[in-house]
Amino acid sequence: MHNDSIPGGEPSSADAEKGFASESLREPGRGITTPLSQSQTTAVELQRSHHSHAKSTNFPLSFWKWATQKSNSSSDIDTNPPPDGGLQAWTITLMAHMVGFNTFGFVNAYGVLQSYYVSRFDLPPSTVSWIGSLSAFLVLFISTFSGRLTDAGYFHQTLLLGTILQLLGFFAAGFAKTYWQVLLAHGICIGVGGGLIFIPAISLVGTYFTKRRSLALAICAVGNSFGGLIFSAILQSLLPKLGYGWAMRVCGFVIMGSMIPANFLLKPRRIKRNKAPLIEWSAFGEPVYACFSVGMFFSMVGMWIPVFYLGSFGRDIIHIGSKDASSLLLIINGVGICGRVIPAIVAARFGPLNLMIPLSLVSGLILFCWAGVSNHTEVVVFDVFYGFIMAAAQGMFPPSLGSLTENLSKMGVRMGMVFSICGFAVLIGNPLAGALITLDGGRYLYAQMFAGGAMTLGVAFLTAARVLKSGWGIRVRV
C-alpha cells in the first residue's frame, strides 16, 4: 500500500512516527494529501530545531538582560522633589530597617559568639575577634563598591547577590568545624554579603526624604539594635540546646524570611545620576567631608569595643555566669532601640550633627568610666547608659552625613566611602583592644582607656566639621 491517507481515516504509521517533520500537504479542492518531499521535510526539521533551541536559550538571555538592566536606564527621569512620606517611601524605610536588622544586627550580637569561639577553639580573644572584626569590616568596606553600583543603576542585582552570599555564609558556618572554616564563612562570606546589601538600602532611603530624612534613617538604624537584640537572644538560647550549627542555621532562616520581601519591595527612584568614579577622591578635598570622615574613623575605633568584649569582661573580671554575661548583650541592644528612636524625633528640629557631637562625647566619657566597674550591678548600669548613648550617637551617623551631602546623586558613593573608612576602624580597633587585654595580663584597663581616648578624639574632628560647615552658631541646624 501507498502512504497516501484516505479522507477521514487515520494517518499511516510512517507519518505518525515522523510527527511534525512528516506533516503532509493537502491539495486544495481535493480530498487527497501527499507527503512532504525530502527537502521540505529537512526545512521543517530545521525550523523545529531552531524553535526548540530558542526556547532553551530564552532563560539565560532573559537573565543576562535582567543582570545588565539599569534601574535608571529609563528616559522617564523623576524630576520631582523627594516625596518625604507616603506608602512607598515608608515601605522602603521598613525594608531598609530589616536590612540593618540582618547586617549590623548580627554584628551587634557578636559578643555572644566571641565568648563561645574563645572557649570552643581555645584561642586568645585577640585572635578570635578577627572573625567578628573582619565581618564588620567587610560590611563597611564593601560599601564603597555597593554604593557605587547603586549610583550606576545596578541596585537590584547588587541586593540579590548580597542576599545570596549572606545566606550562603550562614548555612556554611553551620557546618564549619575549625577556626579557619568559621573565619571564611562567618568572617568573609557573611561580611561581603552584608556589605552588598547595607549601603544600597540605606542610601535609597535618603533619596525619598528631605525634612523627614533624619527620622527615616534613624528608623533604619533602629534595625541594628533590634537585630542585635533578636540575634543575641537566638544565639544565647540555641547554642546550649541545639549547638552552634543549628543556631547559625536558624539565624540564616530569619534573614531569608526578611530579605525575600526586601528584594521585591525595595525600589530606587529614577533620579538623574551623574557619572562618577568608584571613589570620589575630590570629596576628601572638601574640609567638611574630610574632617567628618576622620572623626567617624576614630569614633568607630572605640565605639565597638564594649560590644565585642563586655560579655567576656563580665565573665572574666566580674565573675558572673555565662548566661548573665551573654545577657549584657541583650541589654545593650535593647536599650539601644530607645536610644535610636528618641534622638531621631529631636534631630528634625536641632539637626543630626548637632546631636551627634555631644552624644559621642558623652559616650567617650562613659567608656572612661568603664574602668571603675567592679561588680554585677555596676556593669549593668554601665551597660544601660552606654547602650543608650552609643546607639543614639551611632543612629545620627547616616543622617549627619546626609545633611552634609547636597547632591543626592552622590549619596550612595559618599556614604559608602565613609562606611569603608569606618570598616578599617573596626578592623583595627577590636583586635588591638584584644591585644591590649593580653598585654595587661587579662585585665581591661588598657583597652578601656584606648576606647575612651579614641572616641573622644573622634569628637574633636566631628566638631571641626560642624564649625567648618556652619560656624560656631549654636542655633544653626546641621
Q: What is the 3-state secondary structure (H, E, C) of the chain?
A: CCCCCCCCCCCCHHHHHHHHHHCCEECCCCCCEECCCHHHHHHHHHHHHHHHHHHHCHHHHHHHHHHCCCCCCCCCCCCCCCCCCCHHHHHHHHHHHHHHHHCHHHHHCHHHHHHHHHHHHCCCHHHHHHHHHHHHHHHHHCHHHHHHHHHHCCHHHHHHHHHHHHHHHHHHHCCCCCHHHHHHHHHHHHHHHHHHHHHHHHHHHHCCCCCCHHHHHHHHHHHHHHHHHHHHHHHHHHHHHHCHHHHHHHHHHHHHHHHHHHHHHCCCCCCCCCCCCCCCHHHHHCHHHHHHHHHHHHHHHHHCHHHHHHHHHHHHCCCCCHHHHHHHHHHHHHHHHHHHHHHHHHHHHHCHHHHHHHHHHHHHHHHHHHHHCCCHHHHHHHHHHHHHHHHHHHHCHHHHHHHHCCCHHHHHHHHHHHHHHHHHHHHHHHHHHHHHHHHCCCCCHHHHHHHHHHHHHHHHHHHHHHHHHHCCCCCCCC
Do the first three CATH levels of 81-273 and 275-477 match, i.e. the same topology? yes
Whether residue 86 is predicted with pLDDT greater than 70 in this model: the reply is yes
Confidence band (pLDDT; 50, 70, 90) for 42? low
Whether residue 6 is predicted with pLDDT greater than 80 in this model: the reply is no
Select from 144, 465, 44 the least CA-distant residue to 292.
465
Q: What is the pLDDT of residues 368-415, one digit of tens each?
A: 999 999 899 999 999 999 989 998 888 788 778 877 776 666 766 777
Whether residue 321 is predicted with pLDDT greater than 90 in this model: the reply is no
29-35 average pLDDT score? 49
192-196 average pLDDT score? 93
Q: What is the pLDDT of residues 228-262, one digit of tens each?
A: 889 999 998 999 889 999 999 999 999 999 999 99
Select from 188, 189, 155, 160 the least CA-distant residue to 71.
155
Confidence band (pLDDT; 50, 70, 90) for 16? very low
pLDDT confidence of residue 280: 79
122-148 average pLDDT score? 85
Confidence band (pLDDT; 50, 70, 90) for 31? very low
Contact 261, 91 (CB under 8 A): no
pLDDT confidence of residue 13: 45
Whether residue 11 is predicted with pLDDT greater than 90 in this model: the reply is no
Mean pLDDT score across all residues of the chain? 81
Q: What is the CATH number of domain 81-273?
A: 1.20.1250.20
300-307 average pLDDT score? 89
Whether residue 44 is predicted with pLDDT greater than 60 in this model: the reply is no
Confidence band (pLDDT; 50, 70, 90) for 180? very high
Confidence band (pLDDT; 50, 70, 90) for 475? confident
Fold of 275-477: Growth Hormone; Chain: A; (1.20.1250)
Provide, rounded to the nearest whole percent, the portion of the chain with pLDDT above 90.
Answer: 31
The crossing angle, in degrees rounded to 10, of helices 125-141 and 110-121 is 140
Place of cell 501507498: 2
429-434 average pLDDT score? 89
**Assigned C-alpha cell, 439:** 598585654
Q: Domain ranges for the chain, please list them.
A: 81-273, 275-477
pLDDT confidence of residue 202: 84
Place of cell 539594635: 225
Whether residue 183 is predicted with pLDDT greater than 90 in this model: the reply is yes
Q: Who wins on pLDDT, 295 or 268?
A: 295
Select from 162, 170, 167 the least CA-distant residue to 263.
162
Confidence band (pLDDT; 50, 70, 90) for 153? confident
Whether residue 181 is predicted with pLDDT greater than 80 in this model: the reply is yes
pLDDT confidence of residue 49: 56
Whether residue 8 is predicted with pLDDT greater than 60 in this model: the reply is no
**Lowest-confidence segment of 77-81, 351-355, 441-445 by average pLDDT:** 77-81
pLDDT confidence of residue 122: 86
Contacts of residue 430, defined as CB under 8 A and 6 or more positions apart, other chains included, come to: 129, 132, 133, 136, 304, 305, 308, 309
33-41 average pLDDT score? 54
d(CA 93, CA 205): 6
pLDDT confidence of residue 46: 52
Whether residue 434 is predicted with pLDDT greater than 60 in this model: the reply is yes
Whether residue 30 is predicted with pLDDT greater than 50 in this model: the reply is no
Select from 313, 348, 353 the least CA-distant residue to 329.
313
pLDDT confidence of residue 47: 61
30-55 average pLDDT score? 54
459-474 average pLDDT score? 86
CA distances from 280 to 145, 289, 445 (A): 12, 11, 40
pLDDT confidence of residue 27: 45
